[in-house]
Each structure stands twice: as C-alpha cells, then as structure tokens.
Amino acid sequence: MKNEGKLRVIKTVHTAIWFFFNVVIFYMLYAVITNKIDRWLWIGYGLFILEGIILLVFKFFCPLTVLARRYSDSAKANFDIYLPDWLAKYNKTIYTSILGVIIVITLVRLLK
C-alpha cells in the first residue's frame, strides 16, 4: 500500500475514534445534566483517563498523529483526521473544556 493509502486508513480510524469519543463525552454531559450518575458515566471517565495517560506518554500527541506523520509532511492540523482544520487545531481545548464542565457538574451532583 502506498503512503497515501496508509494515511487514508489512519485518517479513517482516527476519525472513527474521534467520533466514538464524541458520543462518550456528550453522553457524559447528558448524564450529569439529567442527574443520571450511572456506570456508563464512570466508564466514560475511565476512557478519558486512559486517553489522558496515552497523551502523556506520547507528549500530548495522539499516537495516530505520530504514526500519520510518517506518511505526510503537511503542516495542517487536520492532516491526520477528517475534520475541518479549525476543529482539529482546537480539538483538545474544546473537549478538555467540555470535560471540565462535566467534572464540575458531577461534583455538584455528588455533593448534594
């Protein structure tokens, strides 16, 4: 398989994982807003903790980004994922902020 094909596979997998984590984070937001503190919320926290550990190990880069770098020298933020460039650029900031809101609401719900 040529480099372009390998990069397409990585982008497809990366986008699918990104979509999965969107489902997780928006379920978590729904759960805390509706006071549905259940095992799925805690599983979501576990997944985000695991993702955080992985990002720490890879110096705040997704391992798929590191892998995709072998097949592209693009300077665009979305070279490794099928997202608009602005969203790929600010992805961590946006989702960390949403997760911060989820944490605060969870704490409020648990302390009531």
pTM above 0.75, yes or no: yes
3-class DSSP string for 48-93: HHHHHHHHHHCCCCCHHHHHHHCCCCCCCCCCCCCCCHHHHHHHHH
pLDDT in tens, 17-35: 999 999 999 999 999 999 9
Distance CA 91, CA 98 (A): 11
In the chain, where are the structural domains located? 3-111
pLDDT in tens, 60-98: 999 999 999 999 999 999 999 999 999 999 999 999 999
Distance CA 58, CA 65 (A): 10
